């Protein structure tokens, strides 16, 4: 059933992409877009790619901070054991619409840790990924609030940020202060609307809670929070360098901060591989409405900005995939099997 739904969703995605492309061709001067596609500074393009790469490495450091705090880990992990799976995961998330890359990096990380004698289950590692994303999201909310102090953000951005931020903060606080003997907090296991959902995610919640235990140590928490903030900072630098590369100095750091907010919000729910269309809209709309930038120039920049991120996700991701010694097809099959296994477990728990 899940496979049928997945395949049936592709025609809708293609229609959405075709509609967006038709709207762009109708509204935007494509000759002007082609003229603006050539960057004015390749040095800043390289700097943008380097900043995006650094952002992934910082994210790896944050994930390492969570994994090092897991009860099952006997010795601190090596950064390269987590950075390589992280880049390969970004590769899968870039070229595929679903978030299959999360399962990919878990599978690769478990294999690398097992080679060092660390026996950590997939569910526990998936819980650590969730925790790292939660802390990273809270750091992103702080960035949004900072940007909002200087730039007018839309109401939808503020609403999305507050909902996501409070939700993540609530989960982190509940997980941090729960006693070790209980996996589910009482307020999440009462009432008819919560029962099936809490039973379905009980196993993952247990892994998330266990992953939070190490964060009770202030030093361990800093080892996760500081790289998360640095990761967002590197992304900010990458966008600023891309703006300079395409001659959009008029936007400057304020424009980079605004785009960091809008692009991140747009990427929460990926519709197509690379979030094509949605990504461009998240760049064009704020640029043209906030700064004296034409639609054609903004669209050309959006394509260039996404290219600097795709290079990191695809080119560097394939390099690490080669190092891992496993084919894309085989790893995709294993990740899909793990994803389906997790879904079946959730269905069984929900129906029991």
Across the chain, which distance is largest between two alpha carbons, in Å? 64
Least confident stretch, 118-132, 158-172, 265-279: 265-279
| pLDDT of res. 350 | 42
DSSP letter (8 states) at residue 216: G
Query: Shortest CA distance to 135 belongs to which of 237, 214, 234, 49?
Result: 214
Q: Per-residue pLDDT for 173 more than 60? A: yes
Cα–Cα distance for residue pair 144/288, rounded to 1 Å: 20
Task: Give the pLDDT confidence of 43-52 residue by residue, as tens digits.
Answer: 999 999 999 9
| pLDDT of res. 347 | 44
Place of tokens 């064009």: 284
- Show the beta-strand stretches assigned E in the chain: none
Q: Per-residue pLDDT for 57 more than 90? A: yes
Give φ, ψ of 39 to 5 degrees. Answer: -65, 150
Task: Give the pLDDT confidence of 179-208 residue by residue, as tens digits.
Answer: 544 444 444 444 444 454 455 455 555 555
> What percent of the chain is predicted at pLDDT more than 70?
70
Task: Enumerate residues 6+ apart whose C-beta is below 8 A from 198.
Answer: 184, 188, 189, 205
| Choice between 188 and 102, residue whose per-residue pLDDT is larger | 102
DSSP letter (8 states) at residue 154: -
Place of tokens 């590769």: 91
In a domain, 200, yes or no: yes
Q: What's the whole-number mean pLDDT along residues 127-155?
A: 82
| pLDDT of res. 26 | 43
Query: Shortest CA distance to 302 belongs to which of 288, 323, 290, 312?
Result: 288
Q: How confident is the model at residue 289 (pLDDT cuts 50, 70, 90)?
A: confident
The total of structural domains in the chain comes to 1
Task: Give the pLDDT confidence of 322-350 residue by residue, as tens digits.
Answer: 988 888 888 888 888 877 665 554 444 44
In a domain, 56, yes or no: yes
Cα–Cα distance for residue pair 301/72, rounded to 1 Å: 46
| pLDDT of res. 332 | 86
In a domain, 61, yes or no: yes
Q: Per-residue pLDDT for 9 more than 80? A: no
Q: Per-residue pLDDT for 235 more than 90? A: yes
In a domain, 11, yes or no: no
| Choice between 148 and 56, residue whose per-residue pLDDT is larger | 56
Q: Return the top range by mean pLDDT from 95-104, 206-215, 304-313.
A: 304-313
Cα–Cα distance for residue pair 181/66, rounded to 1 Å: 20
| pLDDT of res. 37 | 60
Residue numbers of the domain that contains 74: 35-351
Q: Are 189 and 195 in contact (CB under 8 A)?
A: yes
Q: Per-residue pLDDT for 273 more than 70? A: no
| Choice between 283 and 204, residue whose per-residue pLDDT is larger | 283
| pLDDT of res. 200 | 47
| pLDDT of res. 352 | 44
Cα–Cα distance for residue pair 251/123, rounded to 1 Å: 43
| pLDDT of res. 144 | 82
In a domain, 24, yes or no: no
Q: Per-residue pLDDT for 141 more than 60? A: yes
| Choice between 18 and 78, residue whose per-residue pLDDT is larger | 78
In a domain, 342, yes or no: yes
Q: Are 203 and 349 in contact (CB under 8 A)?
A: yes
To the nearest 10 degrees (0 to 180), the angle between helices 328-351 and 202-213 is 110
Q: Are 258 and 290 in contact (CB under 8 A)?
A: yes
To the nearest 10 degrees (0 to 180), the angle between helices 317-324 and 79-95 is 120
Direct distance between the N- and C-terminal alpha carbons of the chain, in angstroms, rounded to an integer? 19
In a domain, 231, yes or no: yes
Least confident stretch, 71-80, 135-144, 171-180: 171-180
Burial (CB count <10 Å: 0-12, 13-18, 19+), residue 60: buried
In a domain, 21, yes or no: no
Average pLDDT, the chain: 76
């Amino acid at each position: 059933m899940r496979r049928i739904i997945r395949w049936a969703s592709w025609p809708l995605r293609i229609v959405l992409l075709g509609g967006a492309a038709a709207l762009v061709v109708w509204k935007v001067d494509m000759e002007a877009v082609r003229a603006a596609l050539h960057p004015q500074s390749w040095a800043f393009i390289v700097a943008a790619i380097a900043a995006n790469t650094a952002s992934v490495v910082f994210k790896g450091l944050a994930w390492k901070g969570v994994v090092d705090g897991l009860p099952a880990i006997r010795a601190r992990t090596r950064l390269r054991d987590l950075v390589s799976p992280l880049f390969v995961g970004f590769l899968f998330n870039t070229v595929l619409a679903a978030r299959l890359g999360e399962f990919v990096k878990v599978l690769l990380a478990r294999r690398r840790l097992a080679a060092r004698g660390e026996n950590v289950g997939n569910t526990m590692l998936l819980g650590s990924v969730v925790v790292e994303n939660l802390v990273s999201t809270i750091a992103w909310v702080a960035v949004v609030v900072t940007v909002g102090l200087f730039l007018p953000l839309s109401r939808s951005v503020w609403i999305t940020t507050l909902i996501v931020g409070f939700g993540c903060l609530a989960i982190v606080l509940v997980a941090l202060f729960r006693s070790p003997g209980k996996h589910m907090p009482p307020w999440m296991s009462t009432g008819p609307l919560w029962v099936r959902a809490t039973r379905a995610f009980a196993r993952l919640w247990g892994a998330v809670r266990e992953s939070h235990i190490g964060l009770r140590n202030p030093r361990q928490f800093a080892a996760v929070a500081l790289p998360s903030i640095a990761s967002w900072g590197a992304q900010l630098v990458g966008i600023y360098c891309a703006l300079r590369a395409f001659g959009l100095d008029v936007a400057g750091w304020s424009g980079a901060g605004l785009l960091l907010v809008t692009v991140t919000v747009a990427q929460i729910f990926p519709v197509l591989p690379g979030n094509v269309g949605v990504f461009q809209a998240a760049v064009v709309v704020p640029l043209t409405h906030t700064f004296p930038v034409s639609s054609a120039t903004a669209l050309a920049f959006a394509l260039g900005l996404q290219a600097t991120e795709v290079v990191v996700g695809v080119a560097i991701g394939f390099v690490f995939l080669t190092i891992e010694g496993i084919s894309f097809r085989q790893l995709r099959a294993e990740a899909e099997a793990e994803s389906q296994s997790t879904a079946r477990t959730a269905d069984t728990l929900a129906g029991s």
